Structure formats: C-alpha cells, structure tokens
C-alpha cells in the first residue's frame, strides 16, 4: 500500500481501465506531459539562480517578446513528447507552424496544442506561471497532419489540463469526466492526487479583469463591472472583491478553488485581432476544465467550446468561471443597453 496517495500515473492507468479497448496511447501521452511539467517546474524554480529568468532576444509568432524560459519550456515539450510515439503533431504558442513528428519516430493518434509557459512576463516578479495543454484526436484520414487537422472545436478535446508553477506545482486535468488536481511531491518526484472532483461554486463575489483596459470595453462588460464595483450600494446588493494576477493559470486555479469570474473580453484596442487570449491552447483547454468543474465559459456571445477555429493562433474574448456570474454576463451581451 502506498503511503503517499494516488500518483498521476496510477490515476491515468485506472482511468484507462474503464475503456478496455484503449490502446494506452493517451495514458502514455499524459505520463509524458507530467514528466515535461516536472522538468519545467524545476527550471522555473531555479530560474533566478541559473540566470534564465530574463528575456531572450526573440519574439513569438504574435510578436510578443520571448523569455528564455518560454523557449526552453517549448523545447522540453517538443523533446519530451516528440519521440514516444503517441503524437501525430503538435502546435505551440511559440511557433508559427505545425510541429511535425520526426520521421525516425513512430507516429501516434493524438494532436497536442500547448502554451509552454503562460504568464511568463510574471517570472521576474516571482508570481505563478504555468503550462496549458489540449489534446485532440488526429483525424483518421490525415497522414501528414497540418493546420487543418487542428481546426476542431473545443468540444472535440479528448483531454485538457494545465500545470501551475506556484508555491506548489499543481497539475489540473480533465478527461471529460470531472476535474482533478495533482500536487507535485518533490521528495518522491511524483504528482499526487490532492484535489479530486473539483467543483466551481455557482455563486461568487470575486472578479478578475485588467481594469486598466476599462475605457476600451464594450457596454455589457462596462455594465457588469460597474455593478460589481457599486457593491452593496448598487443593484447587486453585495460587495465584490477584485483579483488580477495577469497569469491565466493562476486565475483559473483560484476560480477552481473558491469560485470567481475571469474576463479577458473583447475591447476596442484588440477588436481587430479577435481578442487577447488564444483559442486552441488557452481558451479551449481552460473552457473544457471550467465546464467540467460545473462552471461556464463564453465569449459573451457564444460558448467557447463550440467555436469553429479558422487559424492556429486565433484569438478570442474569454469570460469564464462561476456559472451564475457568467450566465449574467451572457444575458448582458444578449441585451446590451
Ligand atoms: O497569454 C496570456 C496572459 O499572460 C494570460 O495568462 C493573462 O491572463 C494575460 O496574458 C494578461 O494580459 P495583460 O497583461 O494584458 O493583462
């Protein structure tokens, strides 16, 4: 009998046993992701000591400056997952095109979309960062998966997760059957199931939004936040609390722990580009997790998981979290003042 609790590996294998025809590919892939995240956790913790916390002299596909750890974390994902035979292709926030599996390795049946180090602008201030991932099935007829293979709605995700590198490193996972959190036990080098069956409270009095963008917002968001700020003196008749970490993994983790609503809505500044956050490796996996934990996720106008992607690095507005608050925001979008 183990005295340390259920490991990620044990959880994955037990989940696989519910599907007697499963090939074991997904289990192997999840195990590989766990190993990649442990390596990144190690790098993040040591970045101050190793001098790797700073900027590289490069920019990612969206023109954002890259941190050295963005590039290293991307490399860890590609190296760790490219050779084991579970993936047919990958896409990363850091690279414009689809990443093919080298022909010397066997090719698997899954596609992986990932953001290797979300919130990395927070590294130098020692605030939580994380890795986000989404797993899709590779369409049967595709022999050389390119962009089109990845253009599947979020409802097609087989699995989604993220790892937050905070005071503790925690990997959060859904296989479409609830959401489970695993804390890294550094002494034994294993992720241990510490947060089974996470549920987001329906009601909340906490919201997260970058208030400095207020003057650019559309009226539904302006109205909603205005009412939160009015607190007990306004129509909501209760006081709200504002939190903004500027690291989506940390915000979603907080919402999973105690409820809340997170908004990166469309605004005048970013209307042209469709939003701020990326659909395939940020909004979709987080929406899958939030919905599986009983929350809601929307652009304000549409359920995020039902959007049909048209580009690999497409951006979307994101409103997610406690269902009562997201439902209210959807109502405000349906009937703008
Ligand atoms: O990629 C995105 C990200 O770092 C998210 O983790 C975070 O929510 C957002 O950007 C912060 O954006 P801003 O700096 O515009 O508030």
Whether 175 and 8 have beta carbons less than 8 Å apart is answered as no
Helix 248-258 crosses helix 284-292 at what angle (to 10 degrees)? 10
The rounded Å distance from CA 273 to ligand 1 centre is: 15
Output the pTM of the full model: 0.96
Residues 260, 164 share a domain: no
Residues 284, 143 share a domain: no
pLDDT (tens digit, 9 = 90+) per residue, 25-77? 999 999 999 999 999 999 999 999 998 888 888 888 888 888 899 999 999 99
Domain-located, residue 1: no
Residue 119, annotated as binding a ligand: yes
pLDDT (tens digit, 9 = 90+) per residue, 104-155? 999 999 999 999 999 998 898 999 999 999 999 999 878 889 999 999 999 9
Whole domain around residue 225: which residue ranges?
206-334
Tally of domains in the chain: 2
pLDDT (tens digit, 9 = 90+) per residue, 277-335? 999 999 999 999 999 999 999 999 999 999 999 999 999 999 999 999 999 999 999 98
| Whether residue 2 has pLDDT greater than 70 | no
Which ligand 1 atom sits closest to the C-alpha of 119? 4
Domain with residue 230: its CATH number is 3.40.190.80
The rounded Å distance from CA 329 to ligand 1 centre is: 20
Residues 120, 33 share a domain: yes
* Chain-centre distance for alpha carbon 84: 23
Domain with residue 40: its CATH number is 3.30.540.10
Residues 150, 38 share a domain: yes
What span, in angstroms and rounded, lies between the C-alpha atoms of 132 and 151? 18
Helix (H, G, I), strand (E, B) or coil at 243: coil
Domain-located, residue 201: no
Pocket (CB within 6 angstroms of ligand 1)? 118-119, 210, 246-248, 264, 277
Residue 325, annotated as binding a ligand: no
Whether 114 and 132 have beta carbons less than 8 Å apart is answered as yes
pLDDT (tens digit, 9 = 90+) per residue, 154-185? 999 999 999 999 999 999 999 999 999 999 99
Residues 268, 218 share a domain: yes
Residues 225, 133 share a domain: no
| Whether residue 217 has pLDDT greater than 80 | yes
Which ligand 1 atom sits closest to the C-alpha of 121? 4
Residues 120, 235 share a domain: no
């Amino acid at each position: 009998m183990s005295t340390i609790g259920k490991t990620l590996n044990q959880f994955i294998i037990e989940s696989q046993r519910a599907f007697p025809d499963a090939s074991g590919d997904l289990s192997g892939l999840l195990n590989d992701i766990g190993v990649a995240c442990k390596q990144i956790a190690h790098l993040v913790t040591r970045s101050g000591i190793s001098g790797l916390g700073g900027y590289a002299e490069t920019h990612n596909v969206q023109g954002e400056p890259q941190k050295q750890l963005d590039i290293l974390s991307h490399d860890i994902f590609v190296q760790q997952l490219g050779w084991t035979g579970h993936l047919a292709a990958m896409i990363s926030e850091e690279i414009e095109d689809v990443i093919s599996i080298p022909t010397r390795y066997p090719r698997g049946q899954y596609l992986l979309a990932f953001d290797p180090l979300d919130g990395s602008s927070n590294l130098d201030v020692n605030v939580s960062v994380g890795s986000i991932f989404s797993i899709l099935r590779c369409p049967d007829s595709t022999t050389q998966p390119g962009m089109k293979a990845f253009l599947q709605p979020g409802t097609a995700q087989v699995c989604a997760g993220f790892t937050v590198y905070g005071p503790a490193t925690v990997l959060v996972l859904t296989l479409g059957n609830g959401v489970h959190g695993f804390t890294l036990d550094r002494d034994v080098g294993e992720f241990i199931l510490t947060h089974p069956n996470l549920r987001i409270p329906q009601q909340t009095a906490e919201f997260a939004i970058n208030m400095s963008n207020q003057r650019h917002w559309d009226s539904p968001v302006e109205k909603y936040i205005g009412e939160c700020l009015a607190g007990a003196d306004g129509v909501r008749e209760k006081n709200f609390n504002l939190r903004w970490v500027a690291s989506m993994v940390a915000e979603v983790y907080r919402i999973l722990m105690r409820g809340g609503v997170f908004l990166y809505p469309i605004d005048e500044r970013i209307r042209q580009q469709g939003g701020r956050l990326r659909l395939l490796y940020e909004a979709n996996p987080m929406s899958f997790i939030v919905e599986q934990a009983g929350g809601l996720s929307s652009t304000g106008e549409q359920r995020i998981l039902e959007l049909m992607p048209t580009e690999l690095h497409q951006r979307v507005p994101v409103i997610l979290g406690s269902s009562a608050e997201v439902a209210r925001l959807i109502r405000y979008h349906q009937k703008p003042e």
